Amino acid sequence: MSTVVVMLGPPGSGKGTQAKRLVDVLGIPHVSSGDLFRHHLSEGTELGRMAHGYMERGELVPDRVTVEMVIERITQPDCDEGVILDGFPRTLTQAEALDEALREQGMAVTLAPLIHVSDEEVIRRITARRVCRDCGAVYNLVFEPPQEEGVCDVCGGDLYRREDDDPETVRHRLYTYYKETSPVIGYYFAQGLLVEIDGQQPTADVERDLRNAVQRLGEPA
Ligand code: AMP
């Protein structure tokens, strides 16, 4: 049986951090659509150039290209046992396209954890977020600062603020989240796949709740 986890929650809810922690628990890869786009951007591909304007404005990249990019990634052999998706699907069209692609492989979404965080907290967290240019490790200047300012603890790389992490763009990303992504929450709720998690507890408690939800997957209802 394969496991497909779809992490839901506003930008800055910690779903990326939690998705990475689940990799070791489940032994399946983490695929972040935002990371895929940023990779294309840094490689200067045509897709990256196309996506850049949308990302800069805090808007969604059109469904057709996003779906194609993510489906191409999750049909790689390393996802045969399943995948932890982060940042995808963000629209109903994407959710339906995902279901169809999984069905063709004899798979289905197994769990959709929704990490709740208030809007104020989202803005507070994201504007203090810093990312390592080399290894992608994520820090927060308020509650998870690096040991040395501007330097990654893991690899010594340079830390930077994502260009879409400024307060104005974050507010627009939140607006996009409510407008486009909230129907996706209803979509998974209706299928009995949604598990709601308090994202404002300490990170370790969020991780515990998430692990518990994942562990319950294998048990009879
Ligand atoms: P993230 O790292 O998930 O916050 O994504 C950064 C940006 O990439 C978003 O603000 C969008 O512009 C774009 N993006 C990421 N995932 C998607 C998606 N599933 N659909 C459309 N655009 C996306």
> How confident is the model over 50-74, as pLDDT tens digits?
999 999 988 999 999 999 999 999 9
CA atoms within 13 A of residue 91's CA, in its CB half-sphere: 13
One-letter amino acid of 82:
G
- Gap between the Cα atoms of 208 and 75, Å rounded: 29
Radius of gyration of the chain (CA): 17
CB neighbour list of residue 160: distance below 8 Å, 6 or more residues apart: 130, 131, 133
Q: Determine the Cα–Cα distance for residues 108 and 115; give it in Å rounded to an integer.
A: 21
Look at residues 59, 67, 123, 68 and name the one whose alpha carbon lies nearest to residue 95.
67
Q: Which of 173, 208, 211, 216 is catalytic?
A: 173
15 a catalytic residue: yes
Which pLDDT does position 221 carry in this prediction? Answer: 54
- 131: Cβ below 6 Å to ligand 1? no
Q: What are phi and psi of 151, to 5 degrees?
A: -125, 135
Structural domains in the chain, sorted by start: 3-117+181-218 (3.40.50.300)
Q: Say yes or no: CB of residue 12 within 6 Å of ligand 1.
A: no
Residue 62: the pLDDT is 98
Residue 50: CB within 6 Å of ligand 1?
Answer: no
Q: Which band of pLDDT confidence, cut at 50, 70 and 90, is reported for residue 189?
A: very high
Q: Is the pLDDT of residue 220 over 60?
A: no
Per the residue annotation, which of 21, 38, 73, 90 is the catalytic one?
90
Mean pLDDT of 150-176: 94
Question: 185: CA distance to ligand 1 center in Å?
Answer: 17
Residues in the chain: 221
- C-alpha triplet 149, 155, 159: angle, nearest 5°: 40
User: Would you list the DSSP string of 89-142?
Assistant: --SHHHHHHHHHHHHHTT----BEEEEE--HHHHHHHHHTEEEETTT--EEETT
Cα separation, 208 vs 220, whole angstroms: 20
**Mean pLDDT (whole number) for 198-216:** 94
61 Cβ inside 6 Å of ligand 1? yes
Q: pLDDT tens across 101-132, in order? A: 999 999 999 999 999 999 999 999 999 999 99
Tell me how far apart the alpha carbons of residues 7 and 10 are, in angstroms, rounded to a whole number.
10
**Token pair of 12, please?**
């800055």
pTM of the predicted structure, to 2 decimals: 0.91
Q: Which of 20, 124, 162, 211 is catalytic?
A: 162
- Whether 57 is catalytic: no
54 lines ligand 1 (CB under 6 A): yes
